[in-house]
């Protein structure tokens, strides 16, 4: 099998303390980066990787993505030659032998332009990982896809701002306003839509068989993905059905009501949970 790790690290309730958002945007006082040397399995190629040593999340998006002085998802090293994705720094020889035919296969090599987490999900699904593990990796792949689009858009807007108002663009308050303005535009790239659609298919297939807590989490995420994909009619119907089974004063009900307000506005933006929940209630 590939990598075994505790999925509690990726549970929505733990994400604030675990994984990560955009670097090189807002000030990052609590994020550290370490440059380490990695060696590719199978061909011995050495390469440098900027690994995240630490990070701090102050909020999370409605799709569970941690936000703050942290990269999200946690960066994975990828071999520049054969595309091997390191879900951890070291593997024993037996694991590498079992992975070799998959990594060197034409099917995997055809995924070279996909994100690291998408490729990791492909490998995990074929090496004995649980369905939930693969689903969580696909979720993080949607974050990667969204981040690529977001970073490019933010950089372009910041450069334009610097050209027209250089003094204002250097102001942290102005940069923060730009950051949230770009987030509010949502993610519309073909890659994001493809990953989100694949994830949505898995969640809708699996939700009925999950326990109550996980079923609630999946239902929230299903509705969020429908909204982000501009499938507003489906999103409203989904959230209406979820709402009917909830206590009106609970946090889940507050999140559902917030989502329904966004759907009514035909809003596809990235929004924070803190907007729906008082800070003390998260």
Mean pLDDT of the chain: 86
pLDDT(191) > 70? yes
What is the band of 27 on the pLDDT scale with cuts at 50, 70, 90? very low
User: Are the C-beta atoms of residues 173 and 219 closer than 8 Å to each other?
Assistant: no
Read off the tokens for 122. Answer: 């492909």
pLDDT of residue 3 exceeding 80, the answer is no
**Of the given ranges (153-167, 174-188, 190-204, 267-281), which has the lowest mean pLDDT?**
153-167
- The predicted-structure confidence for 112-161, as pLDDT tens digits, reads as follows 999 999 999 999 999 999 999 999 999 999 999 998 888 889 999 888 88
Question: How many residues are recorded in the chain?
Answer: 282
Residues 6+ away with beta carbon under 8 Å from 117: 73, 76, 137, 138, 140, 141, 143, 144
* CB 30, CB 69: distance < 8 Å: yes
| DSSP assignment string, 32-52 | EEEEEEEE-TTT--EEEEEEE
Q: Do the beta carbons of residue 278 and residue 237 sit within 8 Å?
A: no
- Residue 34 · residue 20 · CB < 8 Å: no
Instruction: Report the distance separating Cα 123 and Cα 128, nearest Å.
Output: 9
CA 165 to the chain's CA centroid: 33
Q: Give every CB contact of residue 103 below 8 A, 6+ residues apart in sequence.
A: 41, 42, 82, 83, 84, 123
Residue 231, pLDDT > 90, answer yes
69 vs 200: which has the higher pLDDT: 200
Q: Which pLDDT belongs to residue 171?
A: 73
Non-local CB neighbours of 147 within 8 Å, separated by 6+ positions: 21, 22, 72
Residue 29: predicted pLDDT: 56
Query: How much is the pTM?
Result: 0.84
Binned at pLDDT 50, 70 and 90, residue 245 comes out as confident
Is pLDDT at 166 greater than 80 in this prediction?
A: no
Domain boundaries, the chain: 7-133, 141-281
């Amino acid at each position: 099998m590939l990598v075994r790790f505790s999925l509690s690290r990726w549970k929505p309730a733990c994400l604030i303390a675990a994984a990560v958002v955009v670097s090189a945007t807002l000030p990052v006082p609590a994020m550290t980066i370490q440059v380490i040397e990695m060696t590719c399995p199978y061909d011995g190629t050495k390469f440098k990787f900027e690994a995240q040593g630490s990070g701090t999340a102050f909020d999370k998006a409605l799709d569970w993505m941690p936000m703050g002085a942290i990269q999200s998802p946690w960066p994975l090293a990828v071999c520049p030659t054969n595309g091997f994705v390191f879900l951890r720094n070291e593997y024993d020889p037996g694991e590498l032998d079992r992975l070799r035919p998959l990594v060197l296969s034409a099917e995997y090599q055809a995924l070279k332009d996909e994100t690291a987490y998408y490729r990791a999900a492909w490998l995990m699904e074929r090496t004995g990982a649980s369905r939930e593990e693969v689903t969580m990796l696909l979720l993080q792949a949607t974050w990667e896809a969204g981040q690529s689009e977001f970073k490019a858009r933010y950089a372009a807007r910041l450069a334009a701002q610097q050209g027209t108002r250089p003094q204002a663009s250097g102001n942290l308050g102005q940069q923060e306003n730009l950051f949230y303005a770009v987030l509010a535009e949502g993610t519309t790239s073909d890659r994001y839509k493809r990953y989100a659609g694949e994830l949505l298919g898995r969640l809708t297939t699996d939700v009925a068989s999950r326990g109550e807590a996980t079923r609630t989490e999946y239902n929230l995420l299903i509705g969020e993905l429908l909204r982000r994909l501009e499938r507003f009619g489906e999103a409203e119907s989904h959230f209406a059905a979820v709402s009917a089974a909830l206590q009106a004063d609970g946090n889940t009900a507050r999140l559902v009501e917030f989502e329904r307000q966004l759907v009514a506005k035909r809003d596809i933006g990235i929004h924070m949970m803190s907007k729906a929940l008082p800070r003390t209630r998260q």
